[in-house]
A and B are shown apart, each in its own frame.
Chain A
């Protein structure tokens, strides 16, 4: 078992479903330092020489293996930028679990900016799961600014599940992707903001290789006085298909700005954008109330289902 405090254990469970030391390759970072690391036969985790992060090298042909790289912060006032680069060889099928939990009980802001770059080899399949979570009663903010870059070679497939449900005060999420021939990128973003939180999510996807496709779907809920911006740009530079969708529920004084951006630079590029923002439909509440739920319980069930 890792010798971490109870708060760190709880954060690890929240962001990476980790209740014990994971199987396979992992790197666990707590309060600015790596506290546990393990490479496997096919997956090497190597610290960068300048100490700014890690390189994760996955051998060609690696199948059904996983890498966990969670980060937890429990000390108030830490600010860090970490660069993690993933080199995924050809013909792999792997799951990468990242995520960051911040518990801030102090007066100073805590910030973790994780910059992840993925180089996905030809024909490889990657599932990336990232959860962000904040807790703690301190007045210091919990700030997460993830930067993600994805470079996809021919016929590769990447599925990204990115979730931020609770407790993160300020987020600017920048995601960029470049797709080669026949590559496919699928993004599912789930976001909930409350209090006076702010969350900005920017996507820029360049569809460069013939026959590639991208599907970027965001579902979000803005409660209380929180604010969200979803800005998704797809550039269709060849015969390709792309779809972005922002589906959002606003409650209380929550505000959401959805900015569609489609640029077709080739006559065979087929790009679609959908956006819908609104409060919970009254008839949905009524239906659940006829099943015996109170209005508040109905609201909770609808939101839980929406963000599932």
Chain B
């Protein structure tokens, strides 16, 4: 179980403190798929990075299974059972898909076993296992490999930062299937997805809405979704798009 207590995050911009997240309180229980949604620039990706340890909150505490992990390194959090899929997967010259999956499982792994993870994300394993994770792979391919590494790691809490970003519609259809299948096997683990996509919101147990750095709604999907449709998320996104530069924080 992950618990955020009064988590805030500020950055210093041109000598002025700017608040990105304000006093966030949130519990992600085990056996649960939670989706965090809300307008662009609202602080969702920052929150995901704070959970993974890539950013440190300027105030508040993070508890994982009751243990305070606020000051814990990325590595130690990963070892404790937190997985993180990047919004923009990282490219590596020289490292192969097999290397990444082997490192993710943290054990000696046969290429047959590694291929299983690729098949799960809808990639023809034989074609990809020995490919370099470099610029020769498309955005959709990289995204699926990124997700395969998180599957291979097998975390108690897996965080996915906008898995739909940068992929085509065809890849997206497959992606939904991957998450549906993960949802079925969830057991005692939990999944946290940052997403704008209705189809991802639809498979959630709980939905959290973050807007302008504030947690504005949190509850079961059936309660939260109807209030979002055609309103807040979409409308605010359009409004924001007119006034602010695009791109997620």
Query: Which residues of chain B are near A286, meaning CB under 8 Å?
Result: 54, 74, 90
Query: CB-nearest residue of chain B relative to A289?
Result: B74
B94 contacts which of A292, A293, A308 (Cβ < 8 Å)? A308
**Which residues of A293-308 have CB atoms within 8 Å of chain B's CB atoms?**
293-295, 301-302, 304-308
Question: Interface digits, B40-65 against A, CB 8 Å rule (1 contact, 0 not)?
Answer: 00000000000010100000000000
Give Cα A75–Cα B149 distance, bound, in whole angstroms. Answer: 48
CB within 8 Å for A287 and B90 given contacts A301-B103, A305-B95: yes
Query: Which residues of chain B are near A284, meaning CB under 8 Å?
Result: 90, 92
Query: CB-nearest residue of chain B relative to A276?
Result: B93
Chain B residues touching A, majority SS: mixed
Question: Interface digits, B54-83 against A, CB 8 Å rule (1 contact, 0 not)?
Answer: 100000000000000000011100110011
Query: CB-nearest residue of chain B relative to A308?
Result: B94
Q: Is the CB of A302 within 8 A of B92?
A: yes
B75 contacts which of A281, A293, A307 (Cβ < 8 Å)? A293
Query: Which residues of chain A are near B123, meaning CB under 8 Å?
Result: none
Query: Which residues of chain A are near B106, meaning CB under 8 Å?
Result: 291-292
Give Cα A219–Cα B96 distance, bound, in whole angstroms. Answer: 16
Give Cα A306–Cα B89 distance, bound, in whole angstroms. Answer: 18
Give Cα A284–Cα B86 distance, bound, in whole angstroms. Answer: 11
Q: Is the CB of A292 within 8 A of B75?
A: yes
Give Cα A194–Cα B96 distance, bound, in whole angstroms. Answer: 25
Is there a chain A Cβ closer than 8 Å to B104's Cβ? yes
Is there a chain A Cβ closer than 8 Å to B196's Cβ? no
Instruction: Name the residue among A219, A284, A291, A294 with the largest chain B CB count within 10 angstroms.
Output: A291
Q: In the complex, how many angstroms separate the beta carbon of B87 from the nearest chain A beta carbon?
A: 11
Query: CB-nearest residue of chain A relative to B105?
Result: A291
Give the total of B residues in contact with A, Cβ under 8 Å.
Answer: 25
Give Cα A283–Cα B149 distance, bound, in whole angstroms. Answer: 15
Is there a chain A Cβ closer than 8 Å to B99's Cβ? yes
**Which residues of A189-244 have CB atoms within 8 Å of chain B's CB atoms?**
219
Give Cα A288–Cα B75 distance, bound, in whole angstroms. Answer: 9
Q: Is the CB of A305 within 8 A of B75?
A: no
Q: Is the CB of B96 within 8 A of A305?
A: yes
Q: Is the CB of A291 within 8 A of B94?
A: no
Is there a chain B Cβ closer than 8 Å to A290's Cβ? yes
Q: Is the CB of A292 within 8 A of B90?
A: no
Q: Is the CB of A289 within 8 A of B92?
A: no
Is there a chain B Cβ closer than 8 Å to A247's Cβ? yes
Give Cα A283–Cα B84 distance, bound, in whole angstroms. Answer: 13
Is there a chain A Cβ closer than 8 Å to B144's Cβ? no
Q: How big is chain A's contact interface, by range?
A: 20 to 34
Q: In the complex, how many angstroms separate the beta carbon of A218 from the nearest chain B beta carbon?
A: 13
Give Cα A161–Cα B74 distance, bound, in whole angstroms. Answer: 38
Q: Is the CB of A305 within 8 A of B93?
A: yes
Is there a chain A Cβ closer than 8 Å to B153's Cβ? yes
Query: CB-nearest residue of chain A relative to B79?
Result: A292
B99 contacts which of A289, A290, A292, A305 (Cβ < 8 Å)? A305
B73 contacts which of A288, A289, A301, A302 (Cβ < 8 Å)? A289
Q: In the complex, how many angstroms separate the beta carbon of B53 from the nearest chain A beta carbon?
A: 8
B52 contacts which of A247, A290, A294 (Cβ < 8 Å)? A290
Q: Is the CB of A305 within 8 A of B86?
A: no
Query: CB-nearest residue of chain A relative to B149?
Result: A291
Give Cα A179–Cα B84 distance, bound, in whole angstroms. Answer: 50
Q: In the complex, how many angstroms separate the beta carbon of B18 from the nearest chain A beta carbon?
A: 22
Give Cα A288–Cα B149 distance, bound, in whole angstroms. Answer: 10
Give Cα A247–Cα B93 distance, bound, in whole angstroms. Answer: 10
Q: Is the CB of A295 within 8 A of B95?
A: no
A301 contacts which of B79, B82, B90, B95 (Cβ < 8 Å)? B95
B90 contacts which of A283, A293, A295 (Cβ < 8 Å)? A283
Query: CB-nearest residue of chain A relative to B82?
Result: A290
Give Cα A247–Cα B73 distance, bound, in whole angstroms. Answer: 31
Give Cα A302–Cα B91 distance, bound, in whole angstroms. Answer: 11
Q: In the complex, how many angstroms separate the beta carbon of A298 from the nearest chain B beta carbon?
A: 8
Q: Is the CB of A302 within 8 A of B52?
A: no
Query: Which residues of chain A are near B86, meaning CB under 8 Å?
Result: 283, 287
Query: Which residues of chain A are near B74, meaning CB under 8 Å?
Result: 286, 289-290
Query: Which residues of chain A are near B75, meaning CB under 8 Å?
Result: 289, 292-295
**A-B complex: 6 closest residue pairs judged by Cβ atoms:** A305-B95, A305-B94, A292-B78, A306-B94, A289-B74, A287-B90
Task: Other than A305-B94, A306-B95, give 9 A-B pairs with Cβ distance below 8 A.
Answer: A284-B92, A289-B73, A292-B106, A301-B95, A301-B99, A302-B92, A304-B94, A306-B92, A307-B94
12 inter-chain pairs at a CB distance below 8 angstroms, sorted by A residue, are A281-B90, A284-B92, A289-B73, A289-B75, A289-B78, A290-B52, A290-B78, A290-B82, A291-B78, A291-B153, A292-B78, A305-B92
> Contact residues of B with A, CB < 8 Å?
52, 54, 73-75, 78-79, 82-84, 86, 89-90, 92-96, 99-100, 103-104, 106, 149, 153
